[in-house]
Amino acid sequence: ETGVTQTPRHLVMGMTNKKSLKCEQHLGHNAMYWYKQSAKKPLELMFVYSLEERVENNSVPSRFSPECPNSSHLFLHLHTLQPEDSALYLCASSHDTARGYTFGSGTRLTVV
Amino acid sequence: GIQVEQSPPDLILQEGANSTLRCNFSDSVNNLQWFHQNPWGQLINLFYIPSGTKQNGRLSATTVATERYSLLYISSSQTTDSGVYFCAVRRSYNTDKLIFGTGTRLQVFP
């Protein structure tokens, strides 16, 4: 365990389903991130939250909706996804004065 | 934006061999990390090394910030070293995003 926990580890969902990914960190970090890793592509930053406020949204489609209720928890709400959204979704956290990012184990999402 | 290039893209080694992975970046950075992604997708932080040299067991890393590159050395490679190695950089200590390179895929055969 790295200190950043993601659930579920695997998720298969239909295009009409609604599901949520969860990320939790107990490292005392004040920033959290969602990254997407598709096959044969670099990791893409999706969302950044600093002190529970969204500070960056990299033109992500509205079918992905993040939520950060407190500095330890981050969610990614999913609805009406497309098959091309199938990917590994990674959560990370950092502290603005600390030494780098810590990643969770990821959620492998398959949209059918 | 800042560009991060890694080489080689693929590397095949026999167990026991040594290797060097390279990361070039196009702008000044305050944060550079090397990660190992295992076959299950887990990104393991290997080094936080914005400058200088660090060693951890069979792995070591050197970053020459003024020349904008970093090297990851793997000595006496083992099959468990297989996976993808990513270099990632960040320009400041605030929440500016971590930019990843495209990775080096390493396969170590017995």
pLDDT tens digits, one per residue of A5-19:
999 999 999 998 999
The answer to whether A41 touches A89, Cβ cutoff 8 Å, is no
Least Cα distance to A64 among A51, A45, A50, A92 occurs for A45
> Residue A50 has what pLDDT?
82
> Residue A1 has what pLDDT?
61
Q: What residue in A sits closest to B45 (Cα-Cα)?
A: A102
The pair of structure tokens assigned to B70 is 């970093």
User: No. of H helices and E strands in chain A?
Assistant: 0, 11
Least Cα distance to A75 among A45, A43, A49 occurs for A49
Question: Contacts of residue B89 in chain A, CB cutoff 8 Å?
Answer: none
Q: A52: which DSSP letter?
A: T
Instruction: Measure A14 CA to nearest chain B CA, in Å.
Output: 23
Q: What is the pLDDT of residues B6-46, one digit of tens each?
A: 999 999 999 999 999 999 999 888 889 999 998 888 899 99
Cα B49 to Cα B79: distance, rounded to the nearest angstrom = 25
Strand bridging mode A73-79 / A64-70: antiparallel
Contacts of A77 (CB under 8 A, 6+ apart): A18, A19, A20, A64, A65, A66, A67
Question: Contacts of residue A103 in chain B, CB cutoff 8 Å?
Answer: 35, 42-43, 45
Cα B27 to Cα B1: distance, rounded to the nearest angstrom = 9
Residue B41 to residue A90, Cβ atoms within 8 A: yes
- Computed over every residue of chain A, the mean pLDDT equals 90
The closest CB to that of A31, out of B44, B95, B100, belongs to B95
> Residue B36 has what pLDDT?
96
Residue B95 to residue A37, Cβ atoms within 8 A: no
Inform me whether the pLDDT recorded for B94 exceeds 60: no
Instruction: Convert B12-45 to b/e letters by CB count within 10 Å (16 or more is b).
Output: ebeeeeebebebebeeebebbbbbbbeeebbbeb
Question: Contacts of residue A37 in chain B, CB cutoff 8 Å?
Answer: 41
Residue B42 to residue A96, Cβ atoms within 8 A: no
| Inter-chain CB pairs, A–B, below 8 Å | 54
Cα B110 to Cα B99: distance, rounded to the nearest angstrom = 33
- Which of the two residues, B94 and B76, has the higher pLDDT score? B76
The closest CB to that of A100, out of B31, B44, B94, belongs to B31
The answer to whether B30 touches B68, Cβ cutoff 8 Å, is no
In B8-82, beta strands by DSSP E: 10-14, 19-25, 31-37, 43-48, 52-56, 59-64, 69-74
Q: What is the pLDDT of residues B46-75, one digit of tens each?
A: 999 999 999 999 999 999 999 999 999 999
Residue A103 to residue B42, Cβ atoms within 8 A: yes
